[in-house]
Amino acid sequence: MSAPPEGAEKKIAFDAEAGTLLMKELRGTFSSGKTRSYGWRVSQLNALCELIDDREQHIVDALTSDLSKPPLETVAYEIAMLKNSCKVALKELKHWMTSEKVKTSITTFPSSAEIVSEPLGVVLVISAWNYPFLLSLDPVIGAIAAGNAVVLKPSEISPATSSLLAKLVGEYMDNSAIRVVEGAVDETSALLQQKWDKILYTGNGRVARIVMAAASKHLTPVVLELGGKNPVVVDSNINLKVASRRLIAGKWCCNNGQACISPDYILTTKDYAPKLVDALKSELEIFFGKNPLESKDLSRIVNSSHYARLTKLLDDDKVSGKIVYGGEKDESKLRIAPTLLLDVPRDSLMMTEEIFGPLLPIITVDKLEESFDVINSAPKPLAAYVFTNNKALKEQFVRTVSAGGLVINDTALHLAVHTLPFGGVGESGVGAYHGKFSFDAFSHKKAVLYRGFVGDASIRYPPYTDTKMRLMKALVSGGGLLSIIHAMFGALFGKSQS
């Protein structure tokens, strides 16, 4: 048998047996109590901050390789946001870990109580390809802050970033508690066979159902960060130039539309639509030039499969004549130009599935209030946006539209506010994270009640009498001290009458 070429590495398959061994190792680490200490959590968060600072250019290069992502987008929307998450966790960790004192009732008097946040155990993070650095490590920050051991499974669709994550986590982090498993369907399936204490998955609804089904076998709780058709309602009483730029920033400046929170379609009135189209055309040309396929400020489509899917949406007979701007494609470079479509039929392919790309259809209505019926007739989206100066319309939008998150007069920015939960509702997701919500997502809120040996009321114990019944009703009904006094006097009065 000939020897393998010098420098070649034999790839070790990650199967169910390897998954079981990995879980055994991580369970051992967690059981030792190592990850529970404040010191360990801080050391790992600091190591992650150091990783980000030391390897910024490597991260930029990996995302350029995977998505042709402009360096500014990588630095602003992945590196800087992740670094901020680290800093917030380090600043707030002691406060998050402190038990919360809560009131008790007269039913348990005398007593005190608290809610203790404890780590769940060994958790799994399965991340997405479109923001492969941020969406991989941001949940890991929450898992570490909460004191868990964690396995990260990056997306194989962004292979350069996946490989880099495996390398850097191996170098910078405590590998007895934090591991990366690379691979595709087989490796993910092997991981899902294990009994985790929580799974956080970011991706699409089809795979989410597989993850949830696997988790249900072990009654494992899940956080599912999915997507949806995010609507944008555009009123006529606005600064159109600013609104157009913010729409473009949320759509094409976020990975060329390949983002779960990017605007998916616009709703506006028939009368205002031409003005909106003209404003978007003007700003798009300023941003990306007359030949956007050559722009270095637009990410490419991630792979040929997604390119074919988007092309199918664009070539649908129902929408092929609706293009009012863009539509250019270059299959060899996996590039599709920013594309606007006007009066797209609601039963077209483009309007029945999430676009997740640079195509933006515009739906027109007679009255803007009709937009809410259109939005609410579809599954609940991950995000919804409105541009208006009308106070009543803003209030109606917030009151009427159900989505993971809402933004008024901008797009996508709620993602950067760590005091807001980020998550979906209905088909757009289960659970939420970011900031303290990440800590909470990977923690169990343990209820603790403290009592001494005084105040041992005989009312709890047999023999059960009518007097005890009246007093017990007063206690458990929450009626307060007056109700209890009334019940006691009623009991005494009843005895004297008898």
Buried residues in 237-248 as b, exposed as e (16+ CB within 10 A): ebebeebbbbbb
455: its two tokens: 């105040």
Active-site residue 100, yes or no? no
Q: Which amino acid is at 428?
A: S
Active-site residue 49, yes or no? no
3-state secondary structure of 289: coil
What is the C-alpha to C-alpha distance for residues 127 and 402, in angstroms, rounded to an integer?
Answer: 25
Nearest CA to 159 out of 138, 129, 120, 202 is that of 129
Q: Whole-angstrom distance between the N-terminal and C-terminal Cα of the chain?
A: 103
Nearest CA to 338 out of 261, 257, 230, 232 is that of 257
DSSP alpha helix (H) spans, 55-108: 56-67, 71-74, 80-97
Sheet containing 339-342: order of strands: 323-325, 339-342, 359-365, 265-269, 231-234, 383-387, 405-408
Which listed residue (49, 253, 254, 260) is catalytic? 260
Q: What separation in angstroms does the CA of 89 have from each of 75, 116, 334, 375?
A: 20, 18, 38, 36
Element (H, E) at 26: helix 16-31
Integer-rounded Cα radius of gyration of the chain? 28
Which listed residue (73, 78, 187, 225) is catalytic? 225
* Residues acting as catalytic residues: 225, 260
